[in-house]
Structure 1
Amino acid sequence: MALQPPTSSEPTPTHSIFSILEILEQIISHLPPLEIIRCQRVNKTFQTLITSSPLLQYKAWLRNDHPDPTQHPKESDYIPDFHWEMWTGDILDSEGQNKFQEEYEKHQFYTNINRHLHPIIAAKVFELAPEDPRFGFDPLYEKDQGWGGYLNYSPKLIRALQAWYEKYQHTEHIWGQISLYRPAAKKINWQITTSGGAGLNQRFEARKCVEGAEEGYESDYMHNDIWVNKRGEGEPYLTVSDILGRLDESWEKWIESEHDEHYFSHDGPGCDWDEGVPSMSCYMWEEEEDEEDEDDEEGGESERQRLEDPGENLTREEREERARSYMEEAILRSMEACD
């Protein structure tokens, strides 16, 4: 006799398991943060559980703390640096490079970021990850001096985060005040990749408002220091909004740094057109490049072609001003494309 599929009135073993909310909560808690958020779309039971569970809210980075300290990240959760000098012989390739080093460093980079950096930032970092992640992320950078983390990121990542922030800024009340790192960081040192290789440091620090001071940002533009003054109980910490809200300033500093070094250090003729300001291919992320190609096909002569026209007798200052105007327009177009 052939087996008949169970009717809708007969619960399946899977349904029986998922109907036990404590088990379902533990299963969902092992998913990545963004997947936990998406699980709210499964049905009303999933939505109610995720919105009411402190554990799932914490795992999804929708709240800053969880009452169970065993759920909090610890220093031992980080994948440490490994000293490859001790390895020789069979594991070296024909060029003398360690065959396992690259894979280990990529695993270290992705795992540490996934565990300790807010998923809004982490997702964009993964999309635009560096080819060599060896020095890309150090969550314990200068910990003894009070620094909470180091990240090396590209100008393309700034552009991608700018577009994301513009698109979702209306929901900032949901995610904006969540801590940037776990454990929460009071100070960080992030470095924007430059064509000269040294990088442009930006240091962020959250600090308590002293008596008479106002909440908000203070900047030391010369030394690239940004302080975020905060009120409230407990130690202040950096949030997602603290970083995303200063992206425009980060972008301006990077452009200024490239005026002095990009023209002299970039290989190839592609960047000679503006005598210092980098060409589109040096900082535009893929979606912007595709959009720019479409604009050129539809509109004929592009602004960049006009900038490169040797027939125009422009001074260097005029060329730089036109290049800046074009880059501002490119930023606006990329943001409009996200709407």
Structure 2
Amino acid sequence: MKTLAFNRDASITEYIAYYGEVMGKAFEDILPKEWDIPDALRQSMTYSLLAGGKRMRPVLAIAAAEALGGCADDVIPAACAVELVHTYSLIHDDLPAIDNDDYRRGKLTNHKVYGEAMAILAGDALLTHAFHCLAAMPLRCPNVPPAAALAIAAELAYYAGAAGMVGGQAADILGEQGVTTLAQLEYIHTHKTSDLIVFSLRAGGRVAGADDAQLEALAAFGRSIGLAFQIQDDILDVIGDSEKLGKSTNSDTERNKVTYPYLIGMEESKRKVAELTNSAKSALADGGITETRRLLQLADYLMSRES
């Protein structure tokens, strides 16, 4: 599949929709048909992977590469990998042992359709397949040096693992057992949400040949918009529309989970989202990345989203 750079004059919603569709097509063929996989496992994996969503992490990876003169086609394997990891994390988060959710993106959660055991295995398989995608990157994308692919794989293991997303999830579970402070909540949000966003941006940067200063600028941008994204999620859990969100609202309150609106109030939470978004934009301006238009638009889009 050959992906063309999207129309420069298109709106950011059109940009997101276009690359979301590109990723959806990539996921349709991500599990080779010749692989001998039990049907129930293949169905469980693809059920959640093809369940929709805006594919924001892949879109951010592509936008980061394009900001540095890279090609969207070269980012697709890394973009697939991060969405595979994100999808596995959602399947596991929805399980009765963690959040016990019935709906995700307006559809029944994986374990409600395929059972808990198959949902766990589907998540395991999606996580493993993410690294298959990265290992095959130099073969599929000759413009990407093997050293860059190796660095991307190492960073995914870091940002998705115990020091990253999984650590954030563990802290979230531990926080339910006692009072969560603002510092603890920031740790949870930074690792549960920001880390995969940081990875996505750095992966796009590495594909495009970013230098160390540019990679750090992308990381700083990602840390800020990732935290803003999660605070906005906290806000929407209180005042959002469940039909737009594709899941029930007030779920955090029902589980007695501490959130930003709970700790600092709704208006201060909204102010924090705006502050973080401005900090993200400043990080790009200071990092030697000149073609930042799409990344800046994505930051504004995430700040004002309703779903």
Normalised by the length of structure 2, the TM-score is 0.31
Larger Rg, first or second structure (1 or 2): 1
Normalised by the length of structure 1, the TM-score is 0.29
Structure having the higher helix fraction is 2
Structure having the higher strand fraction is 1
